[in-house]
Amino acid sequence: MTNRKTVRLTTAQAIVRFLINQFIEIDGCKERLVTGGFGIFGHGNVTCLGEALYDARSDFPVYRGQNEQAMGFAAAAYAKARLRRQLMFCTASAGPGTTNMVTAAALAHADRLPVFFLCGDTFQTRLPEPVLQQVEHFGDPSLGVNDAFRAVTRYWDRISHPQQIVTSLPAALRVMLDPGDCGPAFLGLPQDVQGWAWDYPEAFFSPRLHRIRRSPPDRDEIADAAALLGRAQRPVIIAGGGVQYSGAVEQLVSFAERHAVPVVETIAGRANLVATHPLNIGPLGSTGSDSANTVAGEADVVLAVGTRLQDFTTGSWTVFGSDARIIGVNAASHDATKHMSTPVVCDARLGLEQLSEALGDYRAPDAWTKHAIRERAQWVEYVQEHTSKTGPPHSYAQVIGVVNNLCHERDRIVTAAGGLPAEIAANWRTLSPGTVDVEFGFSCMGYEIAGGWGARLAQSQTEPDRDTIVFVGDGSYLLMNSDIYSAVLTGQKLIVLVLDNGGFAVINKLQNNTGNTSFNNLFSDTPTISNPVEVDFAGHARALGARATTVRTLDQLATAFREAKASDQTTVIVMKVDPHHGWTERGHAWWEIGTPEVSRNPRVMAAHDKQEMGRAKQRRGI
């Protein structure tokens, strides 16, 4: 028997050596799969994993974060910008350092993004228990805070012996690279096990080249979809984020043009088609456009490509007609079969190519396509008028219009949560495919600046001369702003627009629209505030090392933005916007929310009755 060569390493050293030797093929080039990570050290990861990362620091950069949750956001935005073909790890200590990342894991899970969490854990031997930061469960000593990640990761494991990583690491990568199962992976690393050594086979660390699998469609599923779509008189395509992850934008455009099918976009798929493409009918759903929602409501066949059909896309399933048939083209069977869809479980690029061939010379009726284009023209006219108003009072839409007119076509836009996702979804004119990151899968405040930092790290690899532009409200800024400092420290330039509307204005708007009185959302309507003090956002940003300025007019905004573009430093531009006026009021589909069935407030009861009337169009799961 031939003895295999082995190398004795600690668990932590073996994890780092393995990850460094994983590569992926991107456009014919060999690139490192895990390009580095984000880390905040504590007693649960500094002595062992920190030691291993130090020895690999020249090949495996570790970006020191300021907040563990923000590190997870940055890693998610990085993976999104790299189209899920490269990823980063996040490491934190046992206890609060790790639990701070649960929200980030949930975001990555909802958005189907690969992030690798390597987290400290309590001791496997249990001899020193209870230890610092340990949460004790009297009836189950195996249960710890890291078990919270089970609900928000696609792969979860706790390493109790060094040998286990030989199976766990490849399994975690498999999940993160699988187009259908893609999401975050988690390894709990007990503090003692991190330092335990084992004789690992050297072959385990041999360089390995990964490729993202393109699953071909089943011939019968293609035939069923082609038969359904080929009879359609009023077809429409919903283009989701999966189109970009598959690299299928070109195939989407070719399909739409060959078969004259109008295209509407989800928020995740917001930058599939440029704004000027004649078949781009606009954003769909509760934060969509009149044009897309009208066309989707009249469609008899809906071809849903690379979308999980979230409620903001479907208007809580009221956007489509009750008789509309859905075809689901998706790498995940879970998504392809929603609402009794005719499934085509496959890679989006291959699915579009083969479905197009199966359709042959089919084209949507000319009258239908022209109708959709006319609807879009009306929406474009509304957006142009809405975003070009000179004000005051100033609005999100006006700021979006100024930036949209001045930015480069390859600049990347990042925002999340609050009112900005809806305003950007409705009003942003896509200048180039794949340039918009609106995090609305988990709608997570605090993603904006941290995500901008992660997106910038990705963008600097391929387009260092282009800018990463962050739109953030004052509420999200106050929640999480420290990665302005991270961007400054790492030389990763951001342009951050802080739009101050005096609190959580979009939720105040929802509160008012449901008949409720403004309460606890705007600072001016919070009764527990006894000493109202305005935040000097520009001064705060300067304290974090950024260039910063406050503007009061749209002309000043334009000047400041041009200066930010010309600078090589992170720049923060602060502007007040009105919390009550200037919202994009058109284009909204019905959205299901809970409203009180009984109330002493007649306005609340009237709003409840109006809300219930919208339910009449809701599809009942078919």
pLDDT digit string (tens) for 223-272? 999 999 999 999 999 999 999 999 999 999 999 999 999 999 999 999 99
Q: pLDDT > 70: what percent of the chain?
A: 99
Domain holding 368: CATH number? Answer: 3.40.50.1220
- The pLDDT score that the predictor gives to residue 437 is 98
Residues 186 and 83 in one domain: yes
Least confident of 67-71, 390-394, 473-477: 390-394
Q: Which of 357, 379, 401 is the last residue of a domain?
A: 379
Does 454 reside within a domain?
A: yes
Residues 183 and 130 in one domain: yes
Does 619 reside within a domain?
A: no
Conformation bin of residue 443: beta by default, left when phi > 0, alpha when psi is -120 to 50:
left
Q: Is the pLDDT of residue 349 over 80?
A: yes
Dihedral sign from CA coordinates of 319, 322, 327, 328: positive
Does 609 reside within a domain?
A: no
Q: For residues 291 and 569, what is the distance between their CA atoms, to the nearest angstrom?
A: 40
- Token pair 């291993």 is found at 52
Beta bridge partners of 286: none
Residues 62 and 142 in one domain: yes
Q: Is the pLDDT of residue 426 over 80?
A: yes
Residues 336 and 425 in one domain: no
For the chain, how many structural domains are there in total?
3
Domain holding 438: CATH number? Answer: 3.40.50.970
Q: For residue 1, what pLDDT band results from cuts at 50, 70 and 90? A: very low
Contact 249, 243 (CB under 8 A): yes
pLDDT, tens digit, for every residue of 26-46? 989 999 999 999 999 999 999
Residues 375 and 393 in one domain: no
Q: pLDDT > 90: what percent of the chain?
A: 96
Residues 131 and 155 in one domain: yes
Query: Which DSSP state fits 503?
Result: B
Q: For residues 622 and 498, what is the distance between their CA atoms, to the nearest angstrom?
A: 43
Q: Around Cβ 591, how many Cβ atoms within 10 Å?
A: 17
Q: Around Cβ 356, how many Cβ atoms within 10 Å?
A: 17
- Average predicted confidence (pLDDT) for the chain: 96
- The pLDDT score that the predictor gives to residue 519 is 97
pLDDT, tens digit, for every residue of 164-219? 999 999 999 999 999 999 999 999 999 999 999 999 999 999 999 999 999 999 99
Q: Is the pLDDT of residue 485 over 80?
A: yes
Containing domain of residue 506, as a range?
A: 388-576
Does 496 reside within a domain?
A: yes
Does 602 reside within a domain?
A: no
Nearest Cα residue to 402 out of 552, 570, 557: 557
Q: For residues 268 and 113, what is the distance between their CA atoms, to the nearest angstrom?
A: 12
Residue 366's contacts (CB-CB under 8 Å, 6 or more residues apart) are: 260
Residues 398 and 258 in one domain: no
Q: For residue 507, what pLDDT band results from cuts at 50, 70 and 90? A: very high
Nearest Cα residue to 273 out of 121, 376, 172, 202: 376
Does 583 reside within a domain?
A: no
Does 49 reside within a domain?
A: yes
Nearest Cα residue to 586 out of 437, 439, 378, 418: 378
Contact 384, 546 (CB under 8 A): no
- The pLDDT score that the predictor gives to residue 585 is 92
Beta strands in 447-593 (DSSP E): 468-473, 495-500, 547-551, 571-576
Q: For residue 3, what pLDDT band results from cuts at 50, 70 and 90? A: low
pLDDT, tens digit, for every residue of 54-94? 999 998 999 999 999 999 999 999 999 999 999 999 999 99
Q: Which of 559, 576, 593 is the last residue of a domain?
A: 576
Residues 543 and 403 in one domain: yes
Residues 373 and 394 in one domain: no
Q: Is the pLDDT of residue 457 over 90?
A: yes
pTM: 0.97
Q: For residue 12, what pLDDT band results from cuts at 50, 70 and 90? A: very high
Q: Which of 210, 243, 262 is the last residue of a domain?
A: 210
Q: For residues 83 and 455, what is the distance between their CA atoms, to the nearest angstrom?
A: 11
Does 192 reside within a domain?
A: yes
